[in-house]
Homo-oligomer: A and B are copies of this chain.
Amino acid sequence: MPSMKDTITTVAVDLFHRKGYFATSISEIARQCGIQKASIYYHYPSKENILFHIQQVTMEELTAYLRANLDGRTDIEECMGVAVRSHVRFHLDRQKETFIANSELRGLTPEHYLEIVRQRDEYEQIFQRIIREGIAAGVFTAADVKILSYAILTLCNGGAIWFKPRGRMPVDAIAEIYENFVLRGLKVGDLAAAAAGPDPQAAPL
């Protein structure tokens, strides 16, 4: 049986995801937990702290999951494939939490905001390292590393927006589509020359 604090967190995740942080009231969270509003403050010091707690735990677990999946691998392409699949799978499995962690940053205090941004940077840097190594090894097409990393991550986050757990697509099928799309987009090959149309070689700018 889950503790009341866990129940509060679960209910808050659901409401923040469905209605947004600012549109969700403490009273409503309490009501869905079957307790009074004041009792929330026994478990959490403030509304903002519930939000922060959700985001922090989510970011920690997201990063840990990626690290565990990458552990021991060295092949660059394999790393990127694993990273994309790991990212997509986590975002589909933990749809509500990741959505909150991506879109409700504005509800945080300045200090907590900085902390979450720091954790996110750390996570992004794992992807950037893989891209950088891939370009250095001549496996990936040269382009701005940060922009590529943002592109890949936003792309995969997208899944969490429209994905319906009971829909026609299983999680792994989606992860595979994204993996293929990303790897094809990154890898060097003579496709680029034909793709750019009028101007022959897309300069790395």
Partner-B contacts on A (CB < 8 A) = 19-20, 22-23, 75, 77-78, 81, 85, 103, 106-107, 141, 143-144, 147-148, 150-151, 153-155, 157-158, 161-162, 169, 172-185, 187, 189, 191-192, 195-198, 202, 204-205
A158–B169 touching, CB < 8 Å: no
A183: B residues at CB distance < 8 A: 191, 195-196
Q: How far is the CA of A172 from the CA of B199 in the complex (A)?
A: 14
A205 touches B158 (CB 8 A): no
In the complex, chain B residues whose CB is within 8 Å of the CB of A178: 151
A197 and B79 alpha carbons, distance in the complex (Å): 10
Chain B residues closer than 8 Å to A187, beta-carbon distance:
184, 191, 195
A151 with B195: in contact, given A22-B23, A144-B169 (CB under 8 Å)?
no
Minimum C-beta distance from A13 to chain B (A): 16
A161 proximity list for chain B (CB < 8 A): 150, 154
When distances are taken between beta carbons in the complex, the residues of chain B under 8 Å from A197 are 75, 77-78, 81
Report chain B residues within 8 Å CB of A20: 20, 22, 106
In the complex, which of the residues B153, B158, B195 contacts A180, with contact meaning CB atoms closer than 8 Å?
B195
Q: What is the chain B residue whose CB lies nearest that of A153?
A: B158
- In the bound complex, how far is the Cα of B151 from the Cα of A196, in angstroms? 20
Q: Nearest-CB distance from A186 to chain B (Å)?
A: 8
Given known A-B contacts A22-B22, A191-B184, A202 and B147 have beta carbons under 8 A apart? no
CA distance A154 to B155 in the complex (A): 6
Sorted from nearest, which 7 A-B pairs have the closest CB atoms? A154-B158, A22-B22, A185-B185, A172-B204, A155-B155, A181-B185, A183-B195
Taking the closest CB of chain B, its distance from the CB of A79, in whole angstroms, is 9
Of chain B, the residue at the smallest CB distance from A161 is: B154
Q: Are A154 and B151 in contact (CB under 8 A)?
A: no
List chain B residues, Cβ under 8 A from A162. 150
